[in-house]
């Protein structure tokens, strides 16, 4: 239990970002590394505004908007297909490092003395903030699930499947890339702000590797769902459940590794190896024909 509960809490906190990754990597099928930077941007904007005396919920909203802007920025870099999506993400990440520093004006902001986002629930003690966090994450989840069930969600999936055809049907593919990446980065920024609130600080380096973690978790989840349900068409419920299971398993692994005494310095090494295993398993069926003997 003392492994599962922290893992569940960490998963709930991380889930908005995983949903963002699911949108960009799973639905739009672009690998957007900007997420690393947007995560910090969200935390930075939130922490700066909160310590400046702004209402916590307004600060969260502005942090999410900042994430949207980062997503729009990276779509601009990619616009017209002139710069590869991966490179565009790395570029945006590079730029965001400076931006985040400017926003925070120092490498680390403590929220210890600031008003809390979860102040209304603090009389419930430690669990109060988690209840509020989970409620908030549930709202985000419902919003994304609804979005994916609509015609707009279908078009986003069509973008990932065959952007050329989507263009021939007369739709602006740049517009949908804008929308998808803005949403993904907004979710990442939201996750960054929530993390800053829960951990009590924003740090310029807190985003290192979160995209990779997210992709790993989403892929683990999708792999598992594929094993249990063969040849199913797209299902929002199953996919999003898969996402959560993937995120949960990831944090469960971290907690177990730490418990069995793996040096935290080596944690990324071990997790990296696990991710390589899952990412290879995910693509073996698609590309095995080319490289197989």
- The three-class DSSP label of residue 110 is strand
Are the CB atoms for 224 and 245 separated by under 8 Å? yes
At its nearest, how many Å lie between another protein and the CB of residue 159? 10
Number of chain positions touching another protein (CB under 8 A): 23
Among 58, 110, 138, 161, binds another protein (CB under 8 A): 161
At its nearest, how many Å lie between another protein and the CB of residue 163? 10
Strand partners, 220: none
Please identify, using beta-carbon distances, which residue of 113 and 168 lies nearer to another protein. 168
Contact call for residue 157 and another protein (CB under 8 A): yes
Of the ranges 40-48, 102-110, 137-145, 160-168, which one interacts with another protein (CB under 8 A)? Answer: 160-168
Of the ranges 72-80, 155-163, 189-197, 213-221, which one interacts with another protein (CB under 8 A)? Answer: 155-163
71 Cβ contact list (under 8 Å, min separation 6):
34, 38, 178, 181, 182, 183, 184, 185, 186
Q: Which of 35, 3, 94, 87 is nearest to 216 (CA)?
A: 35
Burial tier of 155 (Cβ tally within 10 Å: 0-12, 13-18, 19+): middle
Burial tier of 223 (Cβ tally within 10 Å: 0-12, 13-18, 19+): middle
Please identify, using beta-carbon distances, which residue of 161 and 263 lies nearer to another protein. 161
Sites for another protein among residues 168-207 (CB under 8 A)? 168-172
Check residue 102 and report its DSSP letter: H
**Per-residue x/- marks for another protein, 114-153, CB under 8 A?**
---------------------------------x-xxxx-
Handedness of CA 270, 272, 278, 281 (dihedral sign): negative
Contact call for residue 287 and another protein (CB under 8 A): no
**Per-residue x/- marks for another protein, 215-254, CB under 8 A?**
----------------x-xx--------------------
Q: Which of 132, 150, 156 is nearest to 24 (CA)?
A: 156
At its nearest, how many Å lie between another protein and the CB of residue 222? 13
Check residue 23 and report its DSSP letter: I
Please identify, using beta-carbon distances, which residue of 67 and 153 lies nearer to another protein. 153
Among 49, 114, 166, 247, binds another protein (CB under 8 A): 166
Please identify, using beta-carbon distances, which residue of 67 and 160 lies nearer to another protein. 160
At its nearest, how many Å lie between another protein and the CB of residue 150? 5
Among 84, 102, 110, 162, binds another protein (CB under 8 A): 162
Contact call for residue 79 and another protein (CB under 8 A): no
204 Cβ contact list (under 8 Å, min separation 6):
40, 44, 97, 100, 101, 104, 107, 108
Please identify, using beta-carbon distances, which residue of 232 and 259 lies nearer to another protein. 232
3-state SS of 189-254 is: HHHHHHHHHHHCEEECCCCCCHHHHHHHHHHHHHHHHHHHCCCCCCCHHHHHHHHHHHHHHHHHHH
- For binding to another protein (CB under 8 A), which residues are involved? 147, 149-152, 154-155, 157-158, 161-162, 164-172, 231, 233-234
């Amino acid at each position: 239990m003392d492994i599962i509960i922290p893992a569940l809490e960490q998963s709930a906190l991380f889930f908005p970002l995983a949903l963002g990754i699911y949108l960009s990597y799973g639905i739009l099928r672009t690998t957007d590394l900007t997420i690393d930077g947007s995560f910090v941007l969200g935390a930075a904007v939130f922490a700066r505004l909160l310590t400046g005396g702004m209402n916590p919920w307004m600060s969260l909203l502005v942090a999410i908007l900042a994430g949207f802007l980062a997503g729009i920025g990276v779509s601009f870099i990619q616009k017209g297909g002139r710069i590869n999506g991966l490179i565009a993400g790395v570029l945006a990440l590079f730029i965001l490092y400076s931006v985040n520093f400017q926003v925070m004006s120092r490498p680390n902001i403590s929220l210890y003395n600031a008003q809390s986002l979860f102040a209304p629930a603090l009389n419930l003690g430690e669990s109060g903030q988690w209840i509020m966090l989970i409620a908030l994450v549930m709202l985000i989840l419902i919003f994304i699930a609804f979005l994916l069930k609509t015609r707009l969600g279908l078009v986003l999936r069509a973008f990932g499947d065959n952007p050329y055809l989507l263009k021939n049907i007369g739709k602006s593919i740049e517009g949908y890339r804008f929308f998808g990446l803005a949403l993904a980065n907004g979710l990442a920024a939201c996750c960054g702000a929530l993390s800053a609130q829960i951990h009590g600080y924003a740090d310029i380096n807190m985003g290192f590797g979160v995209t990779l973690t997210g992709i790993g978790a989403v892929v683990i989840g999708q792999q598992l769902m594929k094993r249990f349900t063969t040849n199913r068409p797209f299902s929002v419920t199953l996919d999003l459940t898969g996402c959560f299971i993937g995120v949960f398993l990831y944090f469960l692994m971290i907690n177990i590794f730490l418990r069995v005494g793996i040096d935290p310095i080596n944690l990324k090494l071990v997790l990296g190896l696990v991710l390589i295993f899952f990412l290879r398993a995910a693509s073996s069926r698609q590309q095995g024909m080319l490289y197989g003997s």
